Amino acid sequence: MASLTAAAPLKFTVRRRPAVLVAPAAPTPRELKLLSDIDDQESVRVHVPGILLYRRNESMAGRDPVAVIRDAVARALVHYYPLAGRLREVEGGKLAVDCTGEGVLFIEADADIHLEQLGEPLLPPFPCLHELLFDVPGSSAIIDAPLMLFQVTRLACGGFILAVRVNHTMADGLGMVQFGAAIAELARGAPAPTVTPMWERELLMARDPPRPSVAHREYDEPEGTDDTFTSLDDLAHRCFFFTPRDVATLRDLLLGAPQLRARATTFDVLAGCLWKCRTAALAPAADVEMRMMCAVNVRGIIRGAAASAGGGGIPRDYYGNAVVCPVAVSAAGALCANPVSYAAELVKQAKEKVDMEYIRSVADLVVLRGRPPLSFMRTYVVSDVRKAPAAHLDFGWGRPVYGGPAEVGGDLAWVASYFVSVTNDRGEELGIAVPVCLPRPAMERFAEEMGKLLQRPLVDVAVRQHPRSAL
């Protein structure tokens, strides 16, 4: 049985058939392919779940989404054949994919529920995820296990839910969506994917010899202990909604810094506000170092010394991990005492540090320091997934009601948030949803602090009644 929310539990039964392996629909090369030094770092050795929810479509009457998607996955794996292989550790613990063609896991399921019963808007967290994406025993290992798991669950209303789990070492969010787009195109009858997948993991290998040239605070543990951490048993999860008018109100807080106001993105402004209010809510000592980590996609970036020296950029069709995580750093007292422009400027500066030299330097550091994990002590991780086109994945049933991350931060829920677009049926953005996780007393203080900046009470997504949400 599954419960959607603690406040109004919705129970339903999911009937699953045994998981099967879906192999490429045609022969594929048997070879060993090294992952990049960005791919196989410690913090990426995890499985990441995503979920897409589809309504009934009368034009697809008689078509079975399970059969359509399973067939399209098999054909897509011909083009993305490394995803049908298994990871191995080679010399020095380096990861490589053995392109065995064994395939990915696939589960067929049915649920006695209508999509409308899940409420509106549909956004993470999905407490029923363990029912909609079953953890096949032994499948969650990083080494020598299937690299992807699909579960297609038919709903009583005629819609369906597609849940996917991906070994993160093989692809980042944009890479996962690129593969999903290939499946969707093939499901709609295309003879081949429009985008030719780019492996080229050598582009993000460390230099020989490795020579880090930039300070990477994201891998350094701050001094002292983390007195902002509390028991994971006393955390509150809420998802807050910011309208375009709210964003304009927050941007007006930069009026005292006109140059920043002209240059700052919505991400800079909103992330800066969230960081400032979160710090105030946690109430650390004034001299404690607080950090904001920004996930930055490096595809298409060609600026910097490495580019000038002849190092090309990362192709936009690259489906490996092409994200780095620079950090903004400030003493807690300065964050709380200064205006929003202070935090927004630090966020903007952290993002603007990323160029090709920064990317090469990350790969070099990862190798020299034995693949260190990112440090999350006193760190707030924010990523912007509004432009990831998961909401456009059409397998023949139209766009999903929701398409994107299935969890609020996963194992990092305590420190992570992301920006999600909430749109109507015409695809018009109604606002931005931001999941937040904090200790219960801090959550109330956070809402109060954000309310002061917005000049109105901070609103939960749960109380909104919008017909559509998307990434």
Catalytic residues, by residue number, are 168, 394
The counts of H helices and E strands in the chain are: 11, 19
Beta-strand ranges (E) seen in 90-129 are 95-98, 104-111
Q: Which candidate, 251, 237, 257, 337, places its Cα nearest to that of 290?
A: 337
Three-state SS letters, 324-356: ECCEEEEEHHHHHHCCHHHHHHHHHHHHHCCCH
The vertex-157 CA angle with 151 and 159, nearest 5°, equals 40
Within 10 A of 8 (CB to CB), how many other CB atoms are there?
9
DSSP 77: H
Please give the Cα distance from 376 to 243 (Å, whole number): 29
**Contact of 440 with 412, CB cutoff 8 Å:** no
Question: What is the Cα 72 distance to its own chain's centre?
Answer: 24
Query: b/e map of 269-283 (b: 16 or more CB within 10 Å)?
Result: bbbbbbbbbbbbbbe
Phi/psi for 176 (5° steps) reads -65, -40
Phi-psi region of 248 (alpha: psi -120 to 50; beta: other; left: phi over 0): alpha
Q: Give the helix/strand (H/E) hosting 254.
A: none
Backbone CA torsion sign across 277, 280, 282, 288: positive
**Contact of 207 with 363, CB cutoff 8 Å:** yes
